[in-house]
Amino acid sequence: MTHKSESGLPIEPVYGPGDPAGWDPAEKLGAPGAYPFTRGVYPTMYTGRPWTMRQYAGFGTAAESNARYRQLIEHGTTGLSVAFDLPTQMGHDSDAPIASGEVGKVGVAVDSLDDMRVLFGGIPLDKVSTSMTINAPAALLLLLYQLVAEEQGIAADRLTGTIQNDVLKEYIARGTYIFPPQPSLRLVADTFRYCRAELPKWNTISISGYHMAEAGASPAQEIAFTLADGIEYVRTAVAAGMDVDDFAPRLSFFFVARTTILEEVAKFRAARRIWARVMREEFGARNPKSLMLRFHTQTAGVQLTAQQPEVNLVRVAVQGLGAVLGGTQSLHTNSFDEAIALPTDKSARLALRTQQVLAYETDVTATVDPFAGSYVVESMTDDVEGAALDLMRRVEDLGGAVHAIEQGFQKAEIERNAYRIAQETDSGERVVVGVNRFRLDEEEPYEPLRVDPAIEAQQAARLARLRAERDGGAVRSALAALQEAAKGETNVLYPMKEALRAKATVGEVCDALREVWGAYVPADAF
């Protein structure tokens, strides 16, 4: 379908050299939706329908987060994105001593099937796509989600969404790991196998560069280290006996969108091109879907400022535009107040409205790949690709992503770049509006959303009631079966699901696996 500009002039769906509606297949860029996918993974991109609009949300109790999800759906969100609190992310129950002071703070506390049931109460799980930002215990949260769907009478093959499930980047940049790398990779491979058999529409991993970027990675470092992690996951699955085309179509990625639009667009184009070549040339993938780098984008939280927070609305709009021009499959736009506290209802709604303006009031969705043929973008794509490939070769020279992590390579490279950015900001060479230039003498007051500290006691009471009412013998038996599977080669997700169905808690399941697999302690912690 041809769109019309504001002047009534035609906007063609696809542009290329010569014929505006065609493309020379001999060109290295290829056509949209064709190898090497530089111009996007689908032939029509947003001319058919816009990207999935996700809003990352979760705080306090499951009931509070459920209310926020219902509001977001009412306001037009087409996909949910769940934030979990730190104890949940690290496999601890809310009443564990180590969880004190962190329950419900940066996301929702989920300790058991009861919490997951409340979290998605009244939300038809066959009608929404759900992304869960959870890594080390990702398999547990996915199984809890499946169990809730079963209670709703929804077959597993109708569930759509993504678990992040990317533990390697936790060792590099974020720190919410539980087990050592090798059993963690085994758990990832078991999840791939389980989802292929039980949840065929589920994206089994979202290999993440976002958190590396938040830690200070450059765009080239972000895609280099993310794709290197992706290669490690593929190798692990292939070594476990899986055919690459059986699982690769369900792989997805997660990147940041900064305010530097041109380089961000180039980054996304370069990442697609590198991944397509790696999958075809190294792994021999035959299914075109195995070659497609599909990704979710979140606007750059690290670029948001507590000073003059309303300016963040502009930053987020620019970042979101970069993600769209770069061809993202789904997008979360940060709320303007996230540098201060959890988003309020109003700020979360404004963040969603930002996406809706991009989708429905601009003309960037009228044509596929608006920047194709731009001298600067094509040149920058080649430059970012070259820099990323150099870093990926250095990772390979160290023995691959896991060995490079064990030697601290990625972490050291990111820290060097973060230091450079900090120096440039401190000197004023890098301008941050409202921070080192264009400041106000006095900031306007702002009342942030705060989490009630009583939530910790409430969750502890829920856990006490759960443990008193459940069949303790059934829980112990189920956890023992899980440990036996973990000691051998049986897929651990099947006994794990039964333990969760018996109302074993997230902390109890993770503790059972810690007894078998151990807990990861970074080398620099000694």
pLDDT in tens, 41-62: 999 999 999 999 987 777 888 9
Confidence of residue 23 (pLDDT cuts 50, 70, 90): very low
Q: 7-11, 322-326, 404-408, 507-511 — which is least confidently predicted?
A: 7-11
Confidence of residue 524 (pLDDT cuts 50, 70, 90): low
- pLDDT number for residue 18: 53
* SS3 letters across 453-466: CCHHHHHHHHHHHH
Instruction: Tell me if 172 sits within 8 A of 410, measured CB to CB.
Output: yes
DSSP H or E run through 308:
none
Q: Which is it for the CA torsion 355, 248, 369, 210, positive or negative?
A: positive
Q: 144-158, 189-203, 248-262, 442-456 — which is least confidently predicted?
A: 442-456
Which residues have C-beta within 8 Å of that of residue 6, sequence separation ≥ 6? 363
Give the separation between CA 158 and CA 171, rounded to whole angstroms: 33
pLDDT over 90 percentage in the chain: 83
pLDDT > 80? residue 449: no
Q: For residue 39, which amino acid is it?
A: R
Q: How far is CA 18 from the centre of its chain?
A: 39
pLDDT > 90? residue 360: yes
- pLDDT number for residue 259: 97
pLDDT in tens, 72-106: 888 888 788 899 999 999 999 999 999 999 999 98
C-alpha dist (Å) from residue 237 to 83, 114, 191, 326 = 27, 32, 10, 29
Six-digit token pair at 411? Answer: 């972490």
Confidence of residue 19 (pLDDT cuts 50, 70, 90): very low
Give the separation between CA 394 and CA 58, rounded to whole angstroms: 38
Radius of gyration of the chain (CA): 23
Give the separation between CA 242 and CA 235, rounded to whole angstroms: 10
Confidence of residue 7 (pLDDT cuts 50, 70, 90): low
pLDDT in tens, 293-305: 999 999 999 999 9
pLDDT > 50? residue 480: yes
- pLDDT number for residue 442: 87
Q: Which residue has the tokens 């792989």?
A: 251
44-427: what fold? TIM Barrel (3.20.20)
pLDDT > 60? residue 25: no
Torsion-angle region of 9 (φ positive above 0: left; ψ -120 to 50: alpha; else: beta): beta
Q: Which residue has the tokens 């969760």?
A: 500
Domain boundaries, the chain: 44-427, 470-517
- pLDDT number for residue 213: 97
Give the separation between CA 507 and CA 147, rounded to whole angstroms: 18
The mean of the pLDDT values for the chain is 93
Instruction: Tell me if 276 sits within 8 A of 292, measured CB to CB.
Output: yes
- pLDDT number for residue 78: 75
pLDDT in tens, 175-234: 999 999 999 999 999 999 999 999 999 999 999 999 999 999 999 999 999 999 999 999
Confidence of residue 1 (pLDDT cuts 50, 70, 90): low
Rounded mean pLDDT, 3-32:
68
